[in-house]
């Protein structure tokens, strides 16, 4: 029967109060780190998240190497393995690397785990306690440094460059490219794109373009603004991306017409003067949604 530190595994896993609390602590730690990894609202770079997870798992690993309780060591290894696999899945999903690279990453992890298995000493430890503490200190310092740089650089900057005038075309689906949203990353780490909620509305007198119902009642002219970007896009360090801002205008006789475009604080309420398109930010500023 396999033994560790001279004791059978059945004895090591004997259930008692100490085992209960060790298991509960490992389960709670695993749930906490997995929830943190899967949190899509994390406001900073995936690199910062990965470094924080690395610091956490290195701390758990240090505990496992310092403890003389084989059951605690075994449970700590479980937390580290689950957190590492969850982080790999998260990063591959974040950067859309595809299934083949995910499989390669999982196979590399499997090879690493098998390699570590051959390095286990008679007491199920991989390194000495002092060396494990040194590794944790180094990774923790690096994680704090990465997060500090991430916070100081301030995240992505967004700028909506709209045209001063647009010509509406498209027949049944009249519209135009109103401009583009330029996303700039002033920092060294990749950041997830979260476009601010820009919107457009009709302002001025649009009575000549209002569609009529079958009973002769006039309907308002509706305008919509769509930013063509992919969910989960990232801008890499010191990089820049641009996304088309596409206008859709639903009115009568608007095809072929030209309209002025103005940037406003909100949708104007007046209905006098020449018709124009008002572009404005719809929601309150967020860190990833702060227009320039």
pLDDT score recorded for residue 47 = 95
pLDDT score recorded for residue 8 = 52
Give the mean pLDDT per block of 10 residues along the chain (292 residues).
48 69 94 92 93 97 91 93 95 89 93 84 80 96 97 93 93 88 96 93 94 82 90 92 94 93 92 94 54 40
Spatial CA neighbour of 70 closest among 127, 12, 109: 12
Q: Is the pTM of this model over 0.85?
A: no
Spatial CA neighbour of 277 closest among 290, 260, 292: 260
53-84 tens-digit pLDDT: 999 999 999 999 998 888 899 999 999 999 99
Sign of CA dihedral 222, 285, 236, 92: negative
Q: Where are the domains of the chain?
A: 3-153, 157-281
pLDDT score recorded for residue 1 = 39
pLDDT score recorded for residue 289 = 40
- What's the CA gap between 30 and 77, in Å, rounded? 11
pLDDT score recorded for residue 287 = 39
pLDDT score recorded for residue 11 = 52
Residue 44: DSSP 8-state: S
Residue 218: DSSP 8-state: B
pLDDT score recorded for residue 286 = 38
How many other CB atoms sit within 10 Å of the CB of residue 217?
A: 9
pLDDT score recorded for residue 284 = 58
**Residues near 150 by Cβ (< 8 Å), separated by ≥ 6?**
44, 45, 47, 48, 187, 189
193-246 tens-digit pLDDT: 999 999 999 999 999 999 887 777 889 999 999 998 878 899 999 999 999 999
pLDDT score recorded for residue 285 = 45
pLDDT score recorded for residue 172 = 77
């Amino acid at each position: 029967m396999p033994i560790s530190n001279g004791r059978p595994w059945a004895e090591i896993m004997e259930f008692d109060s100490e085992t209960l609390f060790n298991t509960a602590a490992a389960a709670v730690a695993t749930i906490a780190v997995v929830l943190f990894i899967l949190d899509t609202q994390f406001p900073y770079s995936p690199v910062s998240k990965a470094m924080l997870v690395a610091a956490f798992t290195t701390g758990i690993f240090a505990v496992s190497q310092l403890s003389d309780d084989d059951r605690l060591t075994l449970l700590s290894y479980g937390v580290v393995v689950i957190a590492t696999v969850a982080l790999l899945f998260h990063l591959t999903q974040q950067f859309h690397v595809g299934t083949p690279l995910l499989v390669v990453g999982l196979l590399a992890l499997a090879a690493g785990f098998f390699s570590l298995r051959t390095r286990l000493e008679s007491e199920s430890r991989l390194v000495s306690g002092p060396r494990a503490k040194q590794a944790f200190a180094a990774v923790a310092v690096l994680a704090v440094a990465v997060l500090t740089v991430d916070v100081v650089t301030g995240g992505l900057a967004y700028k909506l460059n709209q045209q001063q005038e647009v010509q509406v075309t498209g027949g049944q689906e009249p519209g135009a490219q109103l401009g583009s949203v330029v996303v700039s990353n002033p920092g060294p780490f990749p950041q997830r794109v979260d476009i601010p909620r820009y919107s457009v509305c009709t302002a001025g007198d649009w009575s000549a373009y209002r569609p009529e119902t079958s009973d002769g009642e006039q309907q308002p002219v509706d305008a919509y603004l769509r930013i063509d970007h992919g969910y989960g896009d990232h801008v890499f360090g010191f990089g820049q991306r641009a996304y088309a801002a596409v206008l859709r205008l639903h009115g009568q006789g608007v095809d072929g017409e030209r309209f002025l475009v103005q940037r406003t604080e909100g949708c104007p309420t007046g209905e006098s003067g020449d018709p124009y398109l008002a572009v404005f930010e719809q929601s309150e500023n967020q860190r990833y949604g702060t227009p320039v």
